[in-house]
Amino acid sequence: MENFKQTNLDDNILKAVTEMGFEKPTSVQAKTIPHLLNSNTDLIATAQTGTGKTAAFGLPSIHLTDLKNRDTSTLVLCPTRELCIQIAKDLTKYSKYVDGLNILAVYGGSDIRGQIKALNKGVHIVIGTPGRTKDLIKRNKLKIGSIARIVLDEADEMLTMGFKDDLEMILSHTPKDKQTLLFSATMPQKVIGITKSYMQNPERISAQRVNIGAENIKHIYYTVNAKDRYEVIKRIADINPNIYGIVFCRTRRETKDVAYKLMNDGYNADTLNGDLSQAERDEVMMRFRKRKIQLLVATDVAARGLDVESLTHIINYNLPDDFEIYVHRSGRTGRAGNAGVSIAIVHSREIRRIREIEKRAGIEFSKEDVPSGMDVCKTRLYNLIDTVENVQVDEKQIAQFLPDIYKKFENMERDELIKHFVSAEFNRYLSYYKNARDLNVSGRSNDRGKSRGKSGSRERGRSRGRDRKNRSRGDGRNQSTSKFSGFYINAGSERKMNPGRLMGLINESLDSSSADIGNIEIMKSSSFFEIEEKYADDIAKKLKGKPFGGTSLEIEKDKGTGKRGNVNKRKKRRKSRKKNKWPQSNNRSRRR
């Protein structure tokens, strides 16, 4: 399909699309639009953000709407308020020249009375989050008993966020002869379960992400110690004066810590996470879109639905567990022909995860050194000189001040004047970075899959077959003095546990990456790890009951672990664990 005219969409829709600069349909649009216009068959589309899926389901939904009927004909469900608002804005733009079409976004955190008032007047297309949509259905204000189609956008994310019951309740109130369209970046079992229960002989399509492996996105990574990650962000910001990007963190607390540090250090930064009210989120996003904020620090969930053009940088403060999430993040830059940079700040033990992303996403990372203090100073100095050289001079405005200015500088030579001027603007960078240390972690382990982690510890993973142990061992600088406590948890390889995920789980639970983690062993139904003794009580409390892999974690202390390297006691303990595993009653209850 070469252009949108071949889609046979209404002329008023094509007029708006043309004004927006749309020319050739993307892959998902070329496959989805004709299907919706010509068939009532259900559709499953594997598509990520950035593939153009909003237009793929939005344009035909507008085209097929009977404007004379005030009842809701299309319901779109999505995981977050931001995405809900963004979809509604996009559909409003697409229908700019379609008179009489009513579109409404319904989501929590805003006054439900205004949404009810709008629904009472009649709304053709409703875009909602599952919680608020369910609430409006229960109140009998949103009537979906006769809708023609329902769109489940980012179905995997909705299920990950715990909306399964809400989705099932909503779907149960829809007519059997409706058309169901499901868009999902991945197809986990929960999504497959919905397709089997609520879809009838669906057609399947797959759409490649527009930006995946794009030539105008440069992927680089820095290898540093965990404690230096914040300093790396500062250097990235300092060496890129016009930076405009998002810093992705794993937890809400981490976003707050990083954003507050940046703001206290004088950077134009703020945070976006689930703790903000809707009014606060709107305020942050308004400032970010107007570039009043240069660095937005966010979690993946909070950033869902953000559609901001011209981002220069994506910074991964933590690597995500899933390579597709990395692709999702990085694809927010390098759009519309602009160049973009995606930076991963990693421990050397995470190099194999970099290699996995390269392999599975079809991209190539460049390993680079964190800019040195001198690099930052040079860049800022030259940027200052370029700014002065290119500044617009309005002599009329400054004419009245020039005589006094000339008089003040009349005793200064040209070279001396330049030195004073540069020093006035530049001394703070020189003073801060004059003794700046090298943040890069060096060593042969970077290239051999071995890695240096927190406090210099190393971690090695060995895979010996599908059902065998996956081991990881730490040999840090503190191994002769630090005492460690060992723990067993009831999640192993059968629940897709691995050393990287276990370390991420520990760091996330502690809201810190400063704990030194010792030996790690991944078995089929359980895992063993060692952690500094001072963190033992805290991790035992934080991990107990935490959800992982479809179960609630149980944790048991290994009484045979003391200083790191107490291998014989641990081996005996492990053999005992393999024989006894976890109480059978617990295993049975989990299987139910």
SS3 123: coil
How far, in Å, CA of 27 to CA of 208, rounded? Answer: 7
pLDDT of residue 66: 94
Which residue ranges form the domains of the chain, and what is each CATH number? Answer: 4-206 (3.40.50.300), 217-372 (3.40.50.300), 374-433 (no CATH), 453-591 (3.30.70.330)
Interacting residues of 432 by C-beta distance below 8 A, sequence separation 6+: 373
How many residues in the chain? 592
Task: Answer whether 63's CB lies under 8 Å from 7's CB.
Answer: no
How far, in Å, CA of 258 to CA of 116, rounded? Answer: 39
Task: Answer whether 63's CB lies under 8 Å from 9's CB.
Answer: yes
Produce one character per residue of 185-218: b if its CB has 16 or more CB atoms within 10 Å, e if not: beeeeebeebbeebbeebeebebbbbbbbbeebb
pLDDT of residue 425: 67
Q: Strand 245-248 vs strand 313-316: parallel, antiparallel, or unpaired?
A: parallel
Band the pLDDT of 453: cuts 50, 70, 90: very low
Helices (H), 266-393: 278-289, 323-330, 351-361, 373-390
Calculate mean pLDDT across residues 280-291. 86
How far, in Å, CA of 557 to CA of 203, rounded? Answer: 50
Band the pLDDT of 513: cuts 50, 70, 90: low
Task: Answer whether 453's CB lies under 8 Å from 532's CB.
Answer: no
Q: Taking 50 as the threshold, does the pLDDT of residue 327 lie above it? A: yes
Residue owning tokens 């976003």: 255
Q: For 364-399, what is each residue's pLDDT tens digit?
A: 999 999 999 888 888 888 888 888 888 888 888 888
Q: Taking 50 as the threshold, does the pLDDT of residue 519 lie above it? A: yes
Q: Which residue type is seen at 9? A: L
Interacting residues of 523 by C-beta distance below 8 A, sequence separation 6+: 469, 470, 492, 493, 574, 577, 578
> What proportion of the chain, given as a percentage, has pLDDT over 90?
35
Calculate mean pLDDT across residues 145-163. 88
- Mean pLDDT over each residue of the chain, to the nearest integer: 81
Task: Answer whether 589's CB lies under 8 Å from 531's CB.
Answer: no
Calculate mean pLDDT across residues 182-208. 82
Mean pLDDT: which of 301-310, 444-453, 546-555 is highest? 546-555
Interacting residues of 65 by C-beta distance below 8 A, sequence separation 6+: 73, 74, 101, 124, 125
* pTM recorded for the entire structure: 0.54
Paired with 315 in beta bridges are: 247, 343
Interacting residues of 464 by C-beta distance below 8 A, sequence separation 6+: 470
pLDDT of residue 321: 77
Band the pLDDT of 560: cuts 50, 70, 90: low
Q: Say how many C-beta atoms besides its own lie within 10 A of residue 102's C-beta.
A: 17
Tell me the CA distances in angstroms from 521 to 321, 448, 461, 510, 529, one per residue in order. Answer: 19, 20, 9, 20, 6
DSSP code string of 20-48? TT--S--HHHHHHHHHHHH----EEEE--
